Amino acid sequence: MTGAQSPESLDASIRASNLKVTAPRLAVLRALTDAPHSTAERLFTAVRTQLPGTSLQAVYGVLAAFTAAGLARKIEPAGSPALFERRVGDNHHHIVCTRCSAVHDVDCAVGDAPCLTPSNASGFAVHAAEVTYWGLCPDCQSELAAAPIAPTRTAPAPLSNKGAR
Ligand SMILES: [Zn+2]
Ligand SMILES: [Zn+2]
């Protein structure tokens, strides 16, 4: 819990986005501060411990309001459910581990959007560029280096080997 923002500043962030401060919004924003790049489900799990009456639908509603108000950003790496984060407005990119799906921020190549110039924009006025880098995170690299042949315990394995139907 250390390093978490005080309730007052969460409050102020919501107000600064012209949204009404409600208990579910405060709880979701706190969860989002503690765990950037979270799915709605993960935020719901965190929020439910503080607000047992909250529904997943309510969390989706809060996230939609945050995203529309510019208080949160939604990213959707291929093959992943939507992820949410509080770092907004800087056109930053993401690097995703192909093995464990860990997500990290990558700063914009030139500091502001769009940081990549298309070779041909087909006459479009380009507002943003979104890049997803894919690779192996340091943890996965060292796990694989420690056990280059045998699959690790955490690797997904078939439940049974009874053979194909
Ligand atoms: Zn990984
Ligand atoms: Zn990010």
Nearest CA to 65 among 114, 32, 113?
32
Give yes or no on whether 7-75 and 89-146 have one common fold. Answer: no
User: Cα of 48 to ligand 2 centre, how many Å?
Assistant: 24
pLDDT number for residue 3: 47
Structure tokens at 4: 């978490």
Strand, coil or helix: what is 26?
A: helix
pLDDT number for residue 156: 52
- Domain ranges in the chain are 7-75, 89-146
User: Cα of 125 to ligand 2 centre, how many Å?
Assistant: 24
Strands 93-97 and 73-75, bridge-based pairing: unpaired
User: Cα of 141 to ligand 1 centre, how many Å?
Assistant: 7
pTM of the model: 0.78
CATH classification of 7-75 is 1.10.3720.10, yes or no?
no
Q: Is the pLDDT of residue 17 over 50?
A: yes
89-146, what's its fold?
Answer: Dna Ligase; domain 1 (3.30.1490)
Residue with tokens 């997904």: 156
User: Cα of 55 to ligand 2 centre, how many Å?
Assistant: 25
Q: Is the pLDDT of residue 13 over 80?
A: yes
Task: Report which bound ligand comes closest to the CA of 130.
Answer: 2
Q: What tens digit of pLDDT does each residue of 68-119 get?
A: 999 999 999 998 899 999 999 888 999 999 999 999 999 987 767 788 888 8
Q: Look at 4 and 82; give whichever has higher pLDDT.
A: 82
Task: Report which bound ligand comes closest to the CA of 141.
Answer: 1
User: Cα of 52 to ligand 2 centre, how many Å?
Assistant: 28
Q: What tens digit of pLDDT does each residue of 122-161 get?
A: 999 988 888 899 999 999 999 999 986 655 555 554 554 4
Separation CA 94–CA 91 (nearest Å): 10
